[in-house]
Structure 1
């Protein structure tokens, strides 16, 4: 059984492990290996603790935990869109979504993203965006299956001197009706 809940400070190490393992699995052959090899759970957790403690933090974080074992198996971070999207109204953004590589294909990413969408809707966002590496075909298929479509936004990121292109994906959120 899977439990999706708000991330707490006690989850930081586990979330960092999910993120580092996720990078090593999802970005193999896409991101320079030296960059991926330099990632450590300890450094990621230290940076995450700082962000988590920031009183001005604008992101929200959810984890998916195996209810039987209590082990964190996935994580999503989201909040207000970092850059305006013309003509889209209030837009949220999914900043990160990672699932332990040994737990993919079990609906964990879908459960986390569904809950992130519900939270964004509760915050009155009309759409959600996210960024995907152009070559990450598996992630692109997953997000397209969740209703996202590439909207023409493009940005380049530098990883150890290698420029990689990210594509912006967007999806309309279904606004809940209030009585």
Structure 2
């Protein structure tokens, strides 16, 4: 697997991952009429137009490629946009998507780590993101050391949902494993 910065030619692969993730991961979470709007045609037009803005300056989009060179995931992040979270968190993960066929293979974690490196290089020492409560992504972000820091109610197409913000206060510091080596020897007196 290769993780690299996205380029303007990646719009079609990113669109495929985005649509397939939304259709699979958000069934029963988002209203059907919202999911119906996530089509390949719609996302391709949108990503072809928007992708150049997501690979410049402080905003960065990374893609994960499988062994055949196909895009199987992407992660996007930059400066915090939410005024409530901006008080404590300077960086934001705008999205992290892994194609359903690539889940459980470490793609999400590798994208997260690459985005961590980028945001740290921009001096974002604290980062947060939004997801929906009880969505399977919550467990993933907890495993990566994220803590629930804020929640809010939101209405999407008439459906009441709860969103959760996960935060990392020391985003630039990876947890180090402590290794203890004990040397045992025989001592003859």
The TM-score, its normalising length taken from structure 2, stands at 0.83
SS, match of residue 38 in structure 1: coil
| Bigger fraction of residues in strand | 1
Q: Which residue of 2 aligns with 1:69?
A: 68
Q: Which residue of 1 aligns with 2:133?
A: 134
Answer yes or no: is the 8 Å Cα contact 1:51–1:57 preserved in 2. Answer: no
Change (3 A) 1:16 1:118: same
Q: Which residue of 2 aligns with 1:154?
A: 152
Q: Which residue of 2 aligns with 1:94?
A: 93
RMSD between superposed Cα atoms in Å: 2.0
Unpaired segments ≥5 residues, structure 1: none
How far does the alpha carbon of each residue in 1:81-129 deviate from its partner, in whole angstroms, 9 at most, with x for none?
A: 00243652x6110001111101100000000001101111010001111
Q: Which residue of 2 aligns with 1:6?
A: 5
For 1:8 and 1:155, the matched residues in 2 are separated by 35
For 2:59 and 2:100, the matched residues in 1 are separated by 24
Q: Offset at 1:132? A: 0.8
User: Does 1:164 pair with 2:168?
Assistant: no
For 1:135 and 1:124, the matched residues in 2 are separated by 31
For 1:125 and 1:174, the matched residues in 2 are separated by 8
